[in-house]
Amino acid sequence: MRLAWAICAGLLLGIGVAWWLSREAPGKTEARQRRAEQAAAAQARDARPSLYRWRDDAGVLQITDKPPPDRPFQRIDREPDRAIKVKGDSAD
């Protein structure tokens, strides 16, 4: 009978330790939520069409849809044209 109680106590203790070690700390959950919100905001920002303004070697102003790899540029965010009706858009 003592052996059965010892086995039950060992199992309960093992389950308790496993649960304790597998749970997340409260701060970790909040940090993960913050990272998810930041990623969603960055994705929404990147989903908007953008243009890039920069100057070439001759000093001529260039405006392109891709940033230059080797020189400073300014990002110009544009709003999509709202005159175009998108299927499922309920802006009526």
**Burial level of 47, CB count in 10 A (0-12/13-18/19+)?**
exposed
> Do 7 and 28 lie in a common domain?
yes
> Do 31 and 7 lie in a common domain?
yes
Structure-token pair, residue 30: 């909040």
One-letter amino acid for residue 72 of the chain: P
Over residues 47-71, the pLDDT tens digits come to 667 889 999 999 999 999 888 988 9
DSSP 3-state of 61: strand
pLDDT of residue 61: 94
Range of the domain at 61: 49-85
pTM of structure: 0.38
Structure-token pair, residue 78: 């544009």
> Do 10 and 40 lie in a common domain?
yes
Q: Report yes or no on 92 lying in a domain.
A: no
Over residues 11-46, the pLDDT tens digits come to 999 999 998 888 877 778 888 888 888 888 777 766
Are 54 and 76 in contact by the 8 Å Cβ rule? The answer is: no
Number of structural domains found in the chain: 2
